[in-house]
Structure 1
């Protein structure tokens, strides 16, 4: 059968509408024969044309060689040859190379890591702090250090949170840059704050103009982490701020999409109350404890009362199990008048159930300063921790948010005086952003 007749029959067969059962082996056989015939046809066509094609290629190559030989002298005439693209690139690189060598380094040569020696500034009633990175010279992680910005409100209505964000967005000063301070923020981002909203729950919304085109590298993981750390640390200085959310032009999706978080989220301010801030509190309470301790032993009750909250008052616990029914409760006014108070209070007792009853002044002289002819020196001071005592220390159960400072006198455990050990624990609670003396907890040998 001729190929044309076969194709004509196959086309007619293919136009027939078949059911699944009718599409049988006969159809598959015809299809196989058709493909085989078509393949053989292509093979014949290839061999029919390959020899003339090879002859044509050979003729073209010979003609091209002769033409190149004839035209070569004119191509190489001096002054007529143009530089290639590669030569132009090389020439441009050679021209620009001196400029690159003389180009000013983007990082000033006189930058040091002097910022490493700086201590964190502390916010005051007339200042806020902003956090910048302190770039190190040894490629170690850059710490964040608080830098002070003084408030100059000139009597106008003023929002310290807005002021702090604005100061942060301006970036470090030239002098701070020379000391090694750095930030993703700079003069180009200085005016990008649209506004803030502090809700009654403590949720703070910070809305920026979209500055993603100003600092496009801010979306990288390292840069975005540094940016958020700087923002969150700066805002965490405000106790009224509990959670923080950021937006671009009113859209949290736009901001978090830029830094590749993927969804709107918020940050907990307490997570950014830094160790430095904790150290500042520690320093403050150690200092207050020393002042109160000295006033107490000197029986300067008016000065002691100065550190007591006017509503909270003061709790005295004879032993570590503060919260027991034996605790004494005094108002601020009570303590202020101790210098003339002749009332007898039960300050302690011993294993024979003999009570130590005394006036406030006698309590200091005969229980705090000395006992059983043993004079106390209180030469060990610890912060918010104590391993001393035979009773369970319940300070943090009764005052869960409190911090205490312990003054301890511990005689030699191998001496007869060991049972005279005594601790005075000055317990503080933060009320309205101020740390108040709320309890005096005595620790002593099991009575």
Structure 2
């Protein structure tokens, strides 16, 4: 049998062992947590990635109204009107003083090529009057027909709007006739859009090329239509 002192010593020993197991070395005082220095805090802040700013919503592009069209925009409107046979729209673009000159071939003839005013253009498609436009190249056969027929042969005879190569102030197709566009319509006062097709039937090796040139007179930043020149291969 153990005496009371022995039992107390055994209990104290067990308590000491339990304290060592739970807290480490008995009697050791726990060290207080070390606070980071200001330099360490700054380094930690720098190492942390900064949050990316949220993207701002895109603002809609404002289109200024009332701005005069570019020559290419004017050409697009006119070529669409020609495709649709809409001579009312064409008349709205015609120069109020000079009207619009129609040239069936690349050489502009200022003496014989017909000119129509705004008022005349509006009813021209329905007018059955035959007009003398010129003679066919290499012969004395006259080009005499109403405008509606002329339109289908010497204005919009192929789908220029959909299939043509488009240039500004550059004539791509030039036949045997003298090219005098810039002489009749000086480049310092005029711009033109050329709708060119290098050929339709491969069998004729490009001899069926077509070109339609829309000539605009510069009026400050604005412009008006003064010439419609159809061109093609000629003998």
- Structure 1 segments unaligned to the other structure (5+ residues): 1-120, 127-280
Q: What's the TM-score once normalised by structure 2's chain length?
A: 0.62
Conserved 8 A contact 1:318-1:326: no
Deviation at 1:365, TM superposition (A): 2.4
* Structure 2 partner of 1:240: none
Higher relative contact order (CA 8 A, sep 6+): 2
Task: Tell me how far apart the structure 2 counterparts of residues 389 and 442 of structure 1 sit (CA, whole Å).
Answer: 11
Q: Structure 1 segments of 4 or more deviating over 6 A?
A: 121-126
The secondary structure found in structure 2 opposite 1:340 is coil
Deviation at 1:312, TM superposition (A): 1.9
* Structure 2 partner of 1:404: 192
The secondary structure found in structure 1 opposite 2:120 is helix
Deviation at 1:366, TM superposition (A): 3.5
1:292 and 2:49 matched: no
The secondary structure found in structure 2 opposite 1:320 is coil
Q: How many residues matched?
A: 168
Task: Tell me how far apart the structure 2 counterparts of residues 350 and 376 of structure 1 sit (CA, whole Å).
Answer: 23
1:421 and 2:206 matched: no
Pairing partner for 1:303 from 79, 89, 107: 89
* Structure 1 partner of 2:31: none
Measured at CA, do residues 297 and 285 of structure 1 come closer, stay the same or move farther in structure 2, by a change above 3 Å?
same
Deviation at 1:369, TM superposition (A): 4.0
Pairing partner for 1:359 from 146, 150, 160: 146
Conserved 8 A contact 1:307-1:436: yes
Deviation at 1:414, TM superposition (A): 6.2
Task: Tell me how far apart the structure 2 counterparts of residues 397 and 368 of structure 1 sit (CA, whole Å).
Answer: 21
The secondary structure found in structure 1 opposite 2:93 is coil
Pairing partner for 1:319 from 83, 93, 105: 105
RMSD value, Cα: 2.8
Which structure features the higher share of helix residues? 1
Measured at CA, do residues 310 and 369 of structure 1 come closer, stay the same or move farther in structure 2, by a change above 3 Å?
closer
Task: Tell me how far apart the structure 2 counterparts of residues 376 and 125 of structure 1 sit (CA, whole Å).
Answer: 30
